[in-house]
Amino acid sequence: MNISAAMIIKRGEEKELERCLKSLKGIVSQIVAVTSPKTGEDDGTDRLLSEYGAEVFYLEWPGDYSAARNESLKHVTGDYVLVIDTDEYVKKFDFVPEPGVFVYRLLRENEYTDSDMALSNRERLNRLFKNGMFHYEGRVHEQLVPDDKKECATAMTDVVIGHTGYADPSSMQKKSRSYRELLQKMLEDSPDDPYVLFQIGRTYYVEKDYENAILSFEKALNLDPDPDLEYTESLLETYGYALLNHNEAQKAMSLFGVYDDFSRFADYLFLCGLILMNNAQFDEAVAEFEKAAKTERYSVRGVNSYLAFYNCGVIKEVLGERDAAVSYYEKCGDYPPAKAAMERCGVL
C-alpha cells in the first residue's frame, strides 16, 4: 500500500513547511506540492521541497481552495491520499484500510490562543481517502465529494495531525477576513446553505464581532441544518458562546431542550453549564458541569475535566461554600487559575 501526500503551499512559511515535510518521512511514498510560481529569489520553499523529494507543480492562486486541491489530486499516484497543509504535521500514523471503506476521518489537534491563554481543541476531518474516487468542492473550507456523487462509507482511523495555524491571534484574524471574502462569493451562489452561513459566522466570531456572528449563526439555524452533520454541533456551540460574549445570556437559555441529542458531547454540556451560570442558576450549572466531567467525547481540552471542575469551584466560592470550592479546585490539577483560587481560599 502506497500513500501520497497532497499539499497546497503558501510561500513564506518555511519553518512550518519543514516540520510538516519531516513528519511525512517514512509514512508517504510521494509528496505532491502545489504552490505559486517563483517571482524572484527562492524564499526557501523550493529548496525544502527539493530536499524532501516533493513533486512540485506551479499554479497561480485561483482564489479557490478546491481548485488548488484538485490540481494536487491530478498528480498523486499512491493507493491512498493524505491531504495535509503547511501548518500541520503528523503526530501519529496508524492506518489499516478496511474492506469497503474509502474515506477515513483522522483526528486534528488545533492549538490556538484566547485571552493570552494557550488552548487546544480537536476535530475529525476527511483527509485520508482512496485515490481516484474523489474531488473537492467549495472556494474555502472545501469539502471532499465522491466523483460519482454517491454516499460512501467512512471510518475513523488512528491518525493524528497537529495544527498550529490558529496559534497566532493576529494571523488567525487576517486569515478569517480572507476566508470571508471567498465565503461571501459562495453565499451568492448558495444563499440558503447553512454550512456557508455557519462558516461566515465563525469568521466574525474569530474577529470578536459577536453581533454579526450571531446574525449569521441565526440565519444558519433557521435553515434547520441536519443535526447528524458534525458542523451542526459546532454551529450551536459557537452561537451559544457568541451570545454569552455579547451579554445575551438570557437569550442563550433558548438553546435548552432543542438540541438534547448533543448532550452526549462534553462541549455542549459545558456550554449549558456556562449559560446557566451566567443566568445565576448556580445549582443547575454545577449539575451540568459535573455531567460534562463524566462525558468522554469532547473537542476542547479541559471541558470534561479541569475547566468543568474550576467553574464548579468558582460557583461554590461565590456562594460562600469554601470547603466545597476547594474540593473542586483540587480536582483541577496544575490549572493555574485553580491554583490561584486555592491561594485565595487560604489553602496554598
Please report which confidence band the pLDDT of residue 118 belongs to, taking 50, 70 and 90 as the band edges: low
Residue scoring higher pLDDT (309 or 229): 309
Q: Is the pLDDT of residue 71 over 80?
A: yes
The answer to whether the predicted template modeling score (pTM) of the entire model surpasses 0.75 is yes
| Domain regions of the chain by residue span | 3-167, 170-344
Q: Is the pLDDT of residue 222 over 80?
A: yes
* pLDDT at site 116: 60
Asked whether the beta carbons of 292 and 308 are under 8 A apart, the reply is yes
Q: Is the pLDDT of residue 259 over 90?
A: no
* pLDDT at site 117: 62
Quick: pLDDT tens for 151-200: 898 999 999 999 998 777 777 788 889 999 999 999 999 999 999 999 99
Please report which confidence band the pLDDT of residue 35 belongs to, taking 50, 70 and 90 as the band edges: very high
- CATH T-level fold of 170-344: 1.25.40
Quick: pLDDT tens for 262-321: 889 999 999 999 999 999 999 999 999 999 999 999 999 999 999 999 999 999 999 999
Asked whether the beta carbons of 202 and 227 are under 8 A apart, the reply is no
* pLDDT at site 227: 85
Please report which confidence band the pLDDT of residue 115 belongs to, taking 50, 70 and 90 as the band edges: low
Euclidean distance between CA atoms 227 and 208, whole angstroms: 26
Identical topology for domains 3-167 and 170-344: no
Average pLDDT value for the chain: 93
Please report which confidence band the pLDDT of residue 40 belongs to, taking 50, 70 and 90 as the band edges: confident
Give the bridge partners for 34, in sequence order: 8, 57
Asked whether the beta carbons of 176 and 238 are under 8 A apart, the reply is no
- CATH T-level fold of 3-167: Spore Coat Polysaccharide Biosynthesis Protein SpsA; Chain A (3.90.550)
E runs forming strands in the chain: 3-9, 30-35, 55-58, 80-83, 88-94, 103-114, 117-130, 134-137, 143-146, 154-166
